[in-house]
A and B are shown apart, each in its own frame.
Chain A
Amino acid sequence: MVDLKQRPVARKAAGRTPPERPRLRDRVSRVEVRWSPYLFIAPFFVIFAVFGLFPLVYTAWVSLHDWDITGAGAFVGLDNYVTLFADPDFWNSVYNTVGMLVLATVPQLLMALVLASLLNQRLRAVTFFRMGVLLPIVTSVAAVGIVFSQIFDRDAGMVNGLLGLVNVDAVDWRADKWSSWTAISTMVNWRWTGYNSLIYLAAMQAIPRDLYEAATVDGAGKIRQFWSITVPNIRPAIVFTVVMSTIAGMQLFTEPLIFGQGSFAISGGSLRQFQTVSMYMFEKAFRDFDYGYGSAVAWMIFLLITLLGVVNFLITRRSR
C-alpha cells in the first residue's frame, strides 16, 4: 500500500537519470511485499478449491452425462436438466423443502427473539439459563431424530398419547404432509432456537441502555420498547440468522431421513410427503445409481439457494 504512493516519484526520478540496477535485496523485499498477502490468504482458497470449487465443477460435469453404477456413460448435454424440469417428484421435494423451511424458520426466529429478550433481563442464575438454551445444539442430530420419531410415533408416541387424553384421534404423523412437516419442523425448531437466541442476545447487549431509560421516561412499555428499540437495533443479527436458516433449511436431510421408516426411508413417506431436495438427490444418486441425474439435482439445489439468497438480500436492502 505504501509502495503505491511512492511509485510516481520513483518514475519521475527514473525519467531523469539512467535507471539504477535494482539490488537483489530490494527486489526480494518488493516481491515479498507484493505477494505475501496472497500467500497468507492462500490456505483458505486452496482448501476451498479442493473441497468446494472442484466438487462443484465436477458435479456440473457429471450432470451432463448419463452416469450410472458402472461409471461414466455418454455425454447427454442438458438432457438431465430437461427431464428434471418435468419431474413431479423433484418439484414435490422442492415444495416440501420450502414448506418445512417456512414452518421451521418463522416460528423458530420469533421464539428466539422472545427468548433472547427474556435472557436479556436481570434474572437469577442468568448464565445457567443462557447456557441452557444452547444445550440442544450440542445434541447429536441423529439422537434428536430418533427421539422425536418416537415422540411422533403413530402407535406408541407421546404426542398421540397426550392427544388421546383430550379425546383427539391418534394421528398417523408420516401419512400426511401437514403432520410430517409439523413433526420435522419441531425437531429443527427444538435444536436451533437456542442457538439463534444467543446470537440475538449478543446483539441486544450491544444496544445502549440509555435508549431504554429514555423510552421508560417517555412512558413506553416493555412491549413497545421491544418492537421500537430492540428489533431495529439488532437488524443485522436478524438478517444473518434468516440467511443462515434459509441455507441450512434448503439442505434439510438428516431429520426427515430418520423420521422416515423402513428400508426405503429416503423416499420420505409412501407418497413422498416429506422428501426434501437433498433426500431426492441422494435417492437418485445413491439408491437408483443415476449419478448424472443426482448431480443435476445437486446443481438445482445450489441454484435455488443462490436464488433465495438474492431474494433475501433484496428484501433486506429494501427494508433498510
Chain B
Amino acid sequence: MGVRPGRALLATTLLGSLVAMSACGGGAAGSASGDVTLIVKTFSQFGYDELYEEYEASHPGIKIKEENIGKLGDYTPKLQQWLATGKGAGDVVAIEEGILSQFMAKPDQFVNLLDHGAEELSGNFLPWKWQQASTPDGSKVVGLGTDVGAQGMCYRKDLFEAAGLPTDREAVGALWPTWDKYLETGKLFKSRRPDIGFYDSTGSVYLNMLMQSGDHTYYDASNKLVIDSNTAVRTTWNASIDMVKAGLSANIEQWSPQWNAGFKNGTFATIPCPSWMLGTIEKQAGPENKGKWDVTRVPGDGAVRGGSFLAVPTQSTHQKEAAELAKFLTSAKGQTAAFKAKNNFPSSPQAIDDPAVRDFKNPYFNDAPVGKIFGDSVKALKPVYLGPDNNAIGDRVGNALLAVEQGKLQPDEAWAKAVDDAKRLTK
C-alpha cells in the first residue's frame, strides 16, 4: 500500500530526464547564438543570485542558470545519478564535505582545477579547506571551498531570564568555557525550569564535541576504522551520556516538525548552531519571536559542522568557462556576498576579515555580532580528518544516542551497537 517505490523512482527518473532535456535544450539554443549557458547545481541556499547577475554583466556571452534542490538528502542521490550516467550534472556542482570525502577516493569524475589556474588561489582558502578537496599528493584539486559551518551557540534569552541565568551574550558565553561547564549550566537550568529542555537533542551536542576532540574521528588518516580505539570518540560519547543522564535533552530530533515548532514554542533553551542554521531559526521562530534568540560562543575551542565546495564535472561541455565561474563564486568577494545574502560563513581568510563579514550584526538575534563570533570560532579550529563513510557512521552513532534518550538501551549496550554497526558498514 502506498506509493510503490518503483513508481516513485520511475517518476523521478522521468522528471529527471525532462529536466536534463530542457537543460540540454537551453544549452543548444545558447550555443546557436554564440552564448554559453552554464548550469549550476546547488542544494539548500547558496545565496548566489546577485553574483550571477554581476558575472553575466561582466562576461558578455555567458548565461548562468541555477538548478536548486532544497534538501541535501535529496540532492546527493541525484548528483550521483548525474555523475554515473554522465548526463545532467551541468557545469558547476555543489558538493557537501561529507560527500566529498567519498568522491575523493576516485576523483576522476571532476575536472582538475589546477589545470585552470587554481594553484595561485590556495592562499584564498583556510588551509584545511583547501586540503579537503585536494588529492593526498596534491596533484589534483577537485573543488573550491564555499562556506564552512562555523559554530556558535544559540540560546533563548527569555528562557534564560526565567531560569535566573544571565542573558547578556558575553556573560552567557562566560558560563561555558568548556563542555563540562555547559553541563553544569544545564543542570542549574533544569533545576529551575524542569519542564523545558536545555538543548534539543544529544546528537548535535555530541557532534560538536567530537569535532573539537582531535584531528580525526572514526577514521585515521590512512582510512582505517578506529572508532573503538580512538579514545576521543569514547570520551565524547561518555560526556554526551552524562548530559542525557542529567536530563538536559528535550528529546526532539533535528529537522523533525516538532523541532521546527520548538524554535517558536521555546521547548529548548539552547542549540549548537552552525552559521547556516541562523536562517532556519529565524524562519521557524518567526518574526513574532525576534530578539528572543541570541548567539554566543560555543563551548570549547571553535568547531565547524558542514560546509561545501564547488566542482566542475568532467561531463561539462564548457569546462573552461565553468572553472572560471567557480573561481569567481568562491573568491573572497563571492564568499562575502554569499554571507550577506544567506549567512553562509566564508572559508576564505580574506573574506572572514573583510569588514562586511567581521562587523556583520544579525538584527534578528538582537544585533549579535555573528561575523565576529563565527570568525573567531573558525580561526580557532584545527582541521579534522573525516574519512569515507564518516556521515553514515555518524548517523548510526546518532541513532544509538537516541536509543539511550528513549530509554531503549543502556549506554554500554548502545555504544557496543554503534561500534558493531560501524564495523559492519565498513566491512
Contacts and interface: CB of A to CB of B under 8 A. Distances in A.
Do chains A and B stick together as partners? yes
Interface of A: 51, 68-71, 83, 87, 104, 141, 146, 149-150, 153-156, 172, 174-176, 188, 191-192, 245, 248-249, 251-255, 261-264, 267, 270-271, 278, 281-282, 286-289
A252 B2 contact: yes
Contacts of A288: 389, 392, 425
A263 B4 contact: no
A153 B424 CA distance: 32
Contacts of B4: 248, 251, 253
13 contacts: A69-B102, A70-B83, A71-B106, A155-B258, A192-B1, A248-B2, A255-B1, A262-B253, A262-B259, A264-B399, A270-B400, A287-B73, A288-B392
Contacts of B108: 70
B5 A278 contact: yes
In the A-B complex, the 8 residue pairs with the smallest Cβ-Cβ separation, listed nearest first, are: A262-B253, A261-B256, A70-B106, A270-B402, A270-B403, A248-B1, A286-B77, A175-B406
A243 B73 CA distance: 34
Given A69-B103, A261-B256, A282 B5 contact: yes
B343 to A, nearest CB: 20
Nearest to A247: B4
Contacts of B399: 264, 267, 270-271
B106 A172 contact: no
A221 B83 CA distance: 68
B105 interface: yes
Contacts of A270: 399-400, 402-403, 405-406, 408
Given A153-B258, A262-B253, A271-B409, A71 B84 contact: yes
Given A175-B406, A271-B399, A254 B3 contact: yes
Given A70-B105, A70-B109, A271-B403, A191 B1 contact: yes
Contacts of A251: 2, 4-6
Nearest to A144: B2
B22 interface: no
B215 interface: no
Contacts of A281: 5
Interface string B15-59: 000000000000000000000000000000000000000000000
B395 A264 contact: yes
B2 A253 contact: yes
B10 interface: yes
Contacts of A51: 10
Contact of A264 (B2, B102, B398): B398
Contact of B257 (A149, A282, A287): A149
A150 B257 contact: yes
A262 B255 contact: yes
A119 B162 CA distance: 58
Contact of B254 (A154, A252, A262): A262
B280 interface: no
Nearest to B392: A288
Nearest to A192: B1
Given A248-B2, A261-B256, A267 B395 contact: yes
A48 to B, nearest CB: 13
A209 to B, nearest CB: 33
Given A156-B258, A286-B77, A172 B406 contact: yes
Contact of B102 (A153, A192, A282, A289): A289
Nearest to B84: A71
Contact of A261 (B5, B76, B253): B253
Contacts of A154: 251
A51 B11 CA distance: 11
Given A252-B2, A270-B405, 10 more contacts: A69-B102, A70-B108, A71-B83, A172-B406, A249-B1, A253-B4, A270-B400, A270-B406, A270-B408, A286-B80
B112 to A, nearest CB: 16
Given A149-B257, A191-B1, A253-B5, A69 B80 contact: yes
Interface string B60-83: 000000000000010011001001
A146 B402 CA distance: 22
